[in-house]
Structure 1
Amino acid sequence: MSMCIQTHIDWPAFLSRHDMLWQTKPISWDEGVFIGNGLLGAMIYSEEHRDQRHVLRFVLGRTDVTASREGGAKAFPVRVPIGEIALEMEGWIYQPCEIRLDLWNAEMRAVIPTTKGEVRLRALIHALYPVLAIELDSDEGEQRAEMRWYSYPEVDPILKNADGINLNQYIPEITVERTEEEGTGIGVQSYGKGEGCTTAWKVHNYGRVKEGSGECENDVRYHRLCLLTVVNGISNEDREIARHELENVPQEDLTSWIAEHRRWWHDYYPASFISIPDTQLESFYWIQMYKLASATRKDLLPIDNQGPWMTSTPWPGLWFNMNVQMSYSPVYTANRLELGQSLISSLRQHQEQLIRNVDESFRSDSAGLGRSSSYDLNSPVEDEVGNLTWIMHNCWRQYRYSMDETLLRDFVYPLLRRSICLYMHLLEEGTDGRLHLPPTVSPEYGSFKQLKTPDAHYDLSLLRWGCETLLYAAKRMGIEDPLQARWADILARLTPLPVDQTGYKIGRDLSLEFGHRHFSHLLAVFPLHITGNSEEERQLAIRSLRHWIAKEGDLRGFSFTGAASIAAAMGLGDEALAYLRSLMHLIKPNTMYKEAGPVIETPLAGAEAIHDMLLQSWGNIIRVFPAVPETWQEAVFHNLRAEGGFLVSAASKAGQTVFIRIQSLAGEPCRLLTDLAYSEQGFVIEVQGKRAQYILHEDRSIEIVLKSGDEAVLYISDGEEPRVIAPVPAEPGMQHFFGSRKPWRLYGFPK
C-alpha cells in the first residue's frame, strides 16, 4: 500500500453491521441461517406446525452426493437430500429468539427461549474440514434437550415437505442402516448401484456445570457438543473416513480447532473491500462474499444451482445456459480468483467428456456443453450451441484478471478453440455472401416451445467474441494457428446481429414480442462487451434494454441482475440502481433466491452488478466509478481487481472521485477512464511516489506506464482531502437488515 493511501478498516466491526439477525425463529429455507465450507452445508430453521415447534433443524447438504437415474444423458445423476440433525427441546421455541450469523467468524450463535427453559447455541462448519460442530448449553428446564440425526427417509413428513413437496425431483429408493461404534453413531443411506452417503455423529454430554459465582439454580447449565460429518460413499472405508474426521477434532477443547477455522475466514475477507451509502445493498454484497466461499473452494466441485444447501428443487444439478456463468461472475472483480479455480478444475478434468458431448463427426476439433448435467459434464449438445463458449468467457476472465499465461496457453486457448470450431462446422454461406448460423435456441425465450431462430443473437455474439479472442490470444502467445485466417474471415463476413426498431432481436426471424426472463439476446452488450462502444451502439443497447424490461410477463430475479449490469455498462447508474432495488423485492430474507427451487446464481450476480457500478474493465480500459447513482454521493473500494492484473482502490466524496490507487501485478498496459480527467483543478499522477508522465487520449482516457509491481496514485491537483480507505457510515436503522423479514425498515419507521 502506498504511503499516500491509508486503510482504516476495522474488519470485525465493519462486518458485524452486516451480520444476519433473527429476533423470531426462522421457519423456512427462505429465511434460514446457512453455514458451509464449499462441500458440506447446513440450513438452520424451525417449523410452525404445533407438533414440531420444539425442533431446530440443521438440514444437511453435501454437494457431491448424487444418485443415478435411468434414461441416458438427459437423466444425469442428481443431487439428493441427505437428512438433518435436529435439536429437539422440551418446550416450544418461544420469543424473543436471538440468532445471529456472525460473518467475520462464519458461525451461528443463538439464545433460544422455550416454554420450558432456554438453550444457547454456537454452530459452524469448519473452513478446512467437513465437520459440523454444534455447541449447546441449556438451563434446568431444557436439560433433556437432545441432538438427533435423521436420514432423509426418517425425517417427519411435516418437516420434509415444509418447503414444498418434491413433485419434480427424483428421489431414489433409500435404505438406511444405523450402527453405533464406540459412542459414534453411523448412518448409511444406500441408493442402489453402490451409491449413497455415510453420516457419522457424536454427542459429548458434559453434564451439569455451574456458571458464575452464585449458588442459585439459574447458574446451572448443561453443556453438550455435537460433531457430525457426511462422506460421499457407503463402503467400510467410507465409514472409517467419517469416523476419522470426527476423531481429528480436539473434543475436550475446541479453541485451537475453531481458531484455525477463523483464521481461514479472516484471511479471506480482506482480499478486497467495498463500502457504499446504501446499507441494505452493502449488507447484501458482503453476505454474497460469505456465500461464495461457503458454496465452493478452489479444489472442490463447481457451484451448482443451490450450493450445499439442499431443498426441494426441479434443478438438482449444473445448468450451463446462464446459471454457472452467473454464479462465478463476482469472483473476478472481487479479487477472489481462487474460488474461480473450482470451475477451471472441473473443465480441465472433464475435457474428454466435453469432446464426447458433440456429434461424433465433429470430435476431432470441437467440444461443447448442453443445457444441464451432473458434475461429470456429460451433456450432449442439441439446440443450445453456445453454452461452452459462454463458460469459456468466465475462464477468459480468470486469465485476464490474473494474466496467468500458463492458464491461457495450456487450457483457455485450446478449449475455447474447440468451442468455436463447433460453430464453424455449422456456419453456412448465404446468397448475400454473409456467413449465417442455422436455427438454434436462444436460452429461455419461449422455452417450453423450444423456439428456434436462425442467426440467434446468443450464438452470433458468442461466435464473434470467440473469434476476436482467439486472434488476440494467438498474437499474444506468438503462435501461428492454421485457423487464424478462417477466424478473420468469419469476423469479416459474419452476418450482423439482427436488429429491428425495438433493438436487438432474438434472431433473424424472431423479434422480442413477449416476456423474456433471460438476457440471451443482449449478450453482445453484457457480459461480452463487444458492442456499445460508439454512441450509436450505446443508444441501440439502451433501447434494447428498455424494450426487454418493459415486457413484464416473464421477468425473474436474474433478469434484474442482467439489466443492472447492462445499464451500468452504458453508464446509467440511477437505472442500474433501480433494477437492483427491484431485485431486493425478489430476494429471500436470508439473501437466497428461489423460484420452483433454489437458483443461487441470482444473488451472486447481484454482487457482480454492484461491482459494475463501481469498477469495470473491458475493451482494455479500466473504468473507475462508471455508473454510480446520484444518491451515492460517497463510495469507496479497495483492491478490486481489473483485467490486465491490476488492483484498484478509489474513493469518492460529494459525487466526485477523490483519488485512485492502481497497482500493476503483471506490467500490462494501463489505460483508465475517470472523472478526474474532467476536473477543473486538473489532476496529478504519482508512480512509486514520484510525479509521472501520462497520455491523455481523445476519449479522455488516461494512459500510464507501469511496470509489474508499480503503483500509481491519481488525485485532484491541490486536493486537500485525506486519501483514506474507510467504510462509509451506515444508514441509521438499516444494519442487520437480512435474516428475518424486516421490509418495514425500508420505509423510515422510527426505531
Structure 2
Amino acid sequence: MLLSFDFFFFFCDDWNSLALSLPSLSLSSLLGRADAEDHKKGGTPFIAQSRLPNGYSTLSTVGKITGFEGRLDLYSAETRVRVSTDKGSLDIRAIVHSDDMLIAYELTPAGDEKGARLDFVPLMAIAPARLQADLDVAKKGDRANKTRKSWASAPYVYNPDPVLTKFAGYDVSRQTLVAGGEIGTAWTIREQANGTRLLLVSIEHSYPEATAVKDAVAHLQKMQKESFESMLTRHRVWWHDYYPKSFISLDDTRMESFYWIQVYKFAAGARKGRAFMDTMGPWMVENTAWANGWFNLNTQLSYWFLSTANRFEVAESLFTKLDENLPTLVANMPAEYGGECAGMSTIVPQTFISPFPSGRLGFTGELLWTCHDYWLMLERTMDAERTTENFFPLLKKSVNTYLHIMEEGADGKLHLPYTRSPEYGGGEDCNFNLALFRWGCATLVEIAERYQIDDPLLPQWQDVLARLVDYPTNENGYMVAKDFPLEQSHRHYSHLMMIYPLREINIDQPENRELIAQSVDHWINYPGRGNAGYSWSGAAAMYALMQDGETAEQYLDTFMRMQEVYPNNPAEIHPTTMYTETKRVQPVTETPLSLCDSMQLMLLQSWGDTIRVFPAIPESWENISFAGLLAKGGFEISATRAVGQTQFVSIQSRAGEPCIVKLDSVEDDIESRRWLMRQTWRHHPNVRRVVFAFPLPAPRTVKLYSALLRNF
C-alpha cells in the first residue's frame, strides 16, 4: 500500500528500524536496534536504562531532488523508493532481513545519478528523554516544561562520542557506553555487475562485553558473497509463512486493513529470541520519553491479540524471556521478600533488571499482569510441560508478592494495604491489585488441580479465593480503591481489570450485568479530556464482552476518527497507523495493537468454559470470515457469515478438551451430525443462540453449516 510521506514513512524489523523522510527535499534513513539500551545504575530508570539512538544514512544525489515516491510492501516486508532529480533518478529497494542481522539497500541509478550514495552519520548515544530535556532547557530556560527541567537537572553521565573507523576492512561506527558494552554499526558497499550498488549494514549491541563492532562485521562477512536476490528470497520465506497462520476479513475494509498492518508491525518489532516489543516498537525516533519497555499497560496491551491470532513466533519474544529471566525477577525484589517472590518495576529493559522499590507497593501488579498475557497463550497451546515447568513457578513467585503484603482485617476478610492503580493513584483494597491477586490464585489452583501438583501453598491460595475482600464499589460501579471513587476523566481502565482483560466478572453472571454496564459507562463517558486511543479500544473490548456489537463498533470508529471526534485531544492516529499521544508527537506502539484484540473479541471469544463464535457483530458487518483463530482449550476455529447469517463454523481440537460452543443457529453436516449424535452432548436455546457441548478428541474437526437445526 502507499503510505504518507508528509510525516513519516517507515520500514522496520525486530532488531532495528528504518525511517524515510523528505524534509526540504532531502532523504534520510534512521537506523537503530531495539535492544541497544544503556545500562546505567540508579538515576531515573527511563533515562538511565533507555533505548539509545544510533545514527542515520543520508542520501547524496548528483542532482537536485525534484520528486519522491515510495511503497511499503507489507506482504514481502520490502520498501521500494524512486527519487527523481534534475540529473536522472535513483531506485532504492530496502529490507531489514527477517533472519539475518542485516539491512540491505539496492541502489539503481539512471541518467547521471551514478554517483549517488548513502552515507552513515552517527548520533550521540543520549537517552531521548534526556536529550529533549536538555534541548528544551537550552531553548526556553526558566520557561521550559517543569518535568523536563527536572530531567535535565538530574545527574547523568554522557556516553562518549561515537568513533568512525575501520575494522577488518569494513567501515564501522563504535559507540562505547560508560556503563559497559558498546553499540557497533558496520557497513559496506558492493558494486554490482549490472550497475547497481548494494549497501549492507549491520548493527550489534553487546553488554557487558565490548564485542558489538566485531559481531556486526561478522554478519557482513557472512553475507558478503550472497546476491541481493538470494537475500530477498530467504527474507520473503519467513514473511510468507507468517501471514497465513490465521486470517480475518471484514465488511469494514478500513478496519480490516488496520488489523493486517498491525500484524505486520508486530513481526517488524519483535521476534522469538530477540527483543520484546517495547513502547517505541518499530519506531526509531529521538523525540520521546518512552524509549523503554513500560509494564504498567503498554507491553501487556501490545501482546494481547497474538495468542488468538496464532502468532506465537512473535509472542515468544516476551514469554521466552520470562522463562529465562525468573532468577532476575526474583533478584529484583528487596531482601525482606525472602527470595520467594518475583517482581519488577514499571520500566523494564530487555535484561529485565528492574528493581522493585523497597517499601513502595505502586508496582505490585506489573509482573502478575504480564503473567496473564503468558497464560492466554498457554490456554490455547495446552502445553502441559511448559505450564508446569516454566509458568507455574513464575506465577507462584509473582503471587507470593501479594501473599507477603496481604493483611487479615477485623472482618475476617483478607485485604491489601495501600497499592497503586496504574496512573490513577492508590489506596487500600485497590481493585487493580485485588483483581490480579484473585486471578493469580485461581489460576494456580486450576493448574495444581489439572496437573495434580501437590503444592504446599494450595490451601493458602484456596483460602485467598474464599476470603479475599470484595471489590470496592459505589453507586457508579467499581471504584479505584476503598474510599477512592473514580471522579476524573482518565484514559486508563486499570480499576476494571476484573471485567477486561481478566473476565473474572462477566455477563454469564446475571447478578453482575448491571454493575458491568454501569462501571464501563461511568468510566468511558466521564466528562473531560482524559480519554486516549487505548481508552476507546478498551471500551470496544468491554462492550464486545457484553455482546453489544453496535457499541463496540462505535468505539472502534471513534478510535479511527479520533481527531475528528475529539479535535482538542492531543492523541492522533496517523496514516501509517502509527499513534502519538502528546503534542510533542511522541510515538507509542501499544494502542494500535490493542485494537486488534477488540476486533477479535467481536469475532471470537473463549472464556469461562465456553467458546463464543460471532458474539458481538454489528449489523453493518454482514459479510465477514475468519480462519485459524485459536480458542481456550486448544481449539482452532474458522467461521463465515454472509448477509448477516452464520454460514459455516469449523472447530478443530488440538488437545482433546471438552468443547462447549455458543453460536448462531447452524446445522452440522451429515458426517459431523452422525458423529455428534453418538456423543454425550446437549444444546440449550439462549435468546437467538445455541450452545453445544460435546467431547472433541484431537485431532477431530467438527464442521457446522447454516440451517434451522431441524435435528436438534
Asked whether the 8 Å contact 1:61–1:308 carries over to 2, the reply is: no
| Mapped contact 1:561–1:583 kept (Cα < 8 A) | yes
Are residues 655 and 242 of structure 1, via their aligned partners in 2, closer, same or farther at CA, if it must alter by over 3 Å?
same
Question: Which sits farther off after the overlay, 72-81 or 644-653?
Answer: 72-81
Q: Deviations over 1:679-727 (max 9, x none)?
A: 6xx55574499564432146542112211111010112389xxxxxxxx
The equivalences for 1:49-68 within 5 A come to 53-54=25-26, 56-68=27-39
Q: How far did residue 594 of structure 1 move?
A: 2.1
Structure 2 matches for 1:180-579, cutoff 5 A? 180=166, 184-206=170-192, 223-233=196-206, 237-249=211-223, 251=225, 253-311=227-285, 312-381=287-356, 382=360, 383-445=362-424, 451-532=425-506, 533-551=508-526, 552-579=528-555
Return the offset for 1:252.
Answer: 6.5
CA distance, structure 1, for counterparts of residue 136 and residue 315 of structure 2: 34
Amino acid at match of 1:150: V
For the residues of structure 2 that align with 1:181 and 1:337, how far apart are their CA atoms? 38
Instruction: Determine which of 692, 695, 712 is the counterpart of 2:702.
Output: 712
- What CA distance in whole angstroms lies between the structure 2 residues aligned with 1:669 and 1:368? 35
Q: 1:469, CA displacement in angstroms?
A: 0.9
**1:179 matched residue in structure 2:** 165
Closer, same or farther in 2 for the Cα pair 1:688/1:630, shift >3 Å?
A: closer
Task: Specify the SS of the correspondent of 1:461.
Answer: helix
User: What CA deviation, in whole Å up to 9, does each residue of 1:354-390 have, x standing for no partner?
Assistant: 1122332223422112211212222233322111111
In the alignment, the residues of structure 2 paired with residue 136 and residue 406 of structure 1 have an alpha-carbon distance, to the nearest angstrom, of: 49
Structure 1 segment 608-619 matched on structure 2, within 5 A: 608-619=597-608
Counterpart secondary structure, 1:352: helix
**For 1:488-527, what per-residue CA distance to the aligned partner results, in whole angstroms no more than 9, with x for missing partners?**
2211211111111111111111111001111101100111
Take 2:214 and 2:309, find their aligned partners in 1: how far apart are those partners?
Answer: 39
Structure 2 residue matching 1:467: 3-state secondary structure? helix
Residue 3 of structure 2 corresponds to residue 21 of structure 1: yes
Q: What are structure 1's unaligned runs of at least 5 residues?
A: 1-18, 210-221, 446-450, 720-751
The CA distance in 1 between the partners of 2:442 and 2:206, in whole Å, is 45
**Relative contact order, higher structure (CA 8 A, sep 6+):** 1
Residue 580 of structure 2: SS of its match in structure 1?
coil
The whole-number CA distance in structure 2 between the counterparts of 1:237 and 1:455 is 49
Cα distance in 1 between the residues matched to 2:591 and 2:546: 21
Could you tell me whether the CA contact under 8 Å between 1:76 and 1:374 is conserved in 2? no
- What corresponds to 1:80 in structure 2? 52
Which residue does 1:658 correspond to in 2? Answer: 647
Deviates more, 1:229-238 or 1:416-425: 229-238
CA contact (8 A) 1:301 1:342 kept: yes
Deviation at 1:70, TM superposition (A): 4.8
Equivalent of 2:16, from 27, 33, 40? 40
2-structure distance, mates of 1:702, 1:626: 15
Q: Residues 404 and 508 from structure 1, CA distance in 2 versus in 1: closer, same or farther, beyond 3 angstroms? A: same
In the other structure, the counterpart of 1:736 is: none
Mapped partners of 2:670, 2:642: distance in 1 = 19
The 8 Å contact of residues 688 and 711 in structure 1, kept in 2 or not, is answered as no
Structure 1 residues 346, 495: closer, same or farther in 2, change over 3 A?
same
AA matched with 1:326 = L
Q: Does 1:146 align with 2:117?
A: yes
Q: Is the 8 A contact 1:66 1:196 kept in 2?
A: no
Task: Measure, in 2, the Cα distance between the counterparts of 1:104 and 1:547.
Answer: 42
Q: What root-mean-square deviation, in Å, do the aligned CA atoms of Structure 1 and Structure 2 show?
A: 2.5
For residues 276-331 of structure 1, give each alpha carbon's deviation from its aligned partner in whole angstroms, at most 9, with x where no partner exists: 01111111111111111111111112111112432121122111111111111111
Deviation of 1:117 after TM superposition, in Å, equals 2.8
Are 1:620 and 2:597 an aligned pair? no
Task: Give the secondary structure class of the aligned counterpart of 2:317.
Answer: helix
User: Tell me, what secondary structure is at the counterpart of 2:94?
Assistant: strand
Whole-angstrom CA distance in 1 between matches of 2:9 and 2:31? 12
Report the Cα distance in structure 1 between the residues aligned to 2:284 and 2:48, rounded to whole angstroms: 17
**One-letter code of the match for 2:682?**
I
What amino acid is aligned across from residue 21 of structure 1 in structure 2? L
What letter matches 1:186 in structure 2? Answer: V
Matched-pair identity in %: 37
Output the CA distance in 2 between the equivalents of 1:41 and 1:330. Answer: 23
Aligned to 1:109: 80
Task: Summarize the Cα distance change of 1:704–1:686 in structure 2 as closer, same or farther, 3 Å threshold.
Answer: farther
Q: Aligned partners of 1:437, 1:711: CA distance in 2, in Å? A: 46
Shift, 1:261, TM fit:
0.7
Change (3 A) 1:354 1:530: same
Is the contact made by 2:668 and 2:703 (CA closer than 8 Å) also made in structure 1?
Answer: no
* AA partner of residue 696 (structure 1): H
CA shift in 2, pair 1:518/1:716, >3 Å: same
SS of alignment partner, residue 588 of structure 2: coil
Normalising by the residue count of structure 2, what TM-score does the alignment of the two structures yield? 0.88
Task: Give matches, 1:679-694, under 5 Å.
Answer: 686-687=671-672, 692=677, 693=679, 694=681
C-alpha spacing 1:709/1:181, structure 2 compared with 1 (3 Å)? same
Q: Match of 2:165, as an amino acid? A: T
Counterparts of 1:87 and 1:574 in 2: how far apart (Å)? Answer: 49
Using the TM superposition, name which of 73-82 and 366-375 deviates more: 73-82
Deviations 1:341-365 (CA, angstroms, capped at 9, x unpaired): 2212211222122112233222342
The answer on 1:696 being equivalent to 2:683 is yes
Letter of the 1:86 partner, please give it: T
Question: C-alpha distance in 2, partners of 1:139/1:45?
Answer: 22
- Distance 1:526-1:388 versus aligned 2 partners, 3 A rule: same
Measure, in 1, the Cα distance between the counterparts of 2:317 and 2:168: 37
Q: Distance in 2 between matches of 1:351 and 1:322?
A: 20
**Which residue identity does 2:621 align to in structure 1?**
W
**Structure 2: gaps of 5 or more residues:** 138-147, 563-571
Q: What SS does structure 2 have at the residue aligned with 1:674?
A: strand
Asked if structure 2 preserves the Cα contact closer than 8 Å seen for 1:671 and 1:701, the reply is yes
Q: For residues 407 and 688 of structure 1, do their structure 2 counterparts lie closer, same or farther at Cα, with a shift above 3 Å needed?
A: farther
Contact (CA 8 Å) 2:676, 2:694: kept in 1 or not?
A: no
SS state at 2:236 partner: helix
- Letter in structure 2 aligned against 1:278: D
1:376 and 1:400 map into 2 onto residues whose CA distance is 27
User: Are the equivalent residues in 2 in contact too, given 1:203–1:225 (CA < 8 A)?
Assistant: yes
Find the residue that maps to 2:289 and give its secondary structure: coil
2:580 to 590, 594, 597: 594
Distance 1:359 1:241, change over 3 A: closer
CA distance in 2, matches of 1:565, 1:94: 46
Q: Name the CA shift for 1:114/1:542 in 2 (closer, same or farther; >3 Å).
A: farther
Aligned to 2:40: 69
**TM-score after normalising by structure 1:** 0.84
In structure 2, C-alpha distance between the alignment counterparts of 1:379 and 1:371, rounded to whole Å:
8
CA distance in 1, matches of 2:199, 2:409: 68
Q: CA deviation at 1:601?
A: 1.0
Q: Hey, what's the Cα distance between the residues in 1 that align with 2:226 and 2:354? A: 48
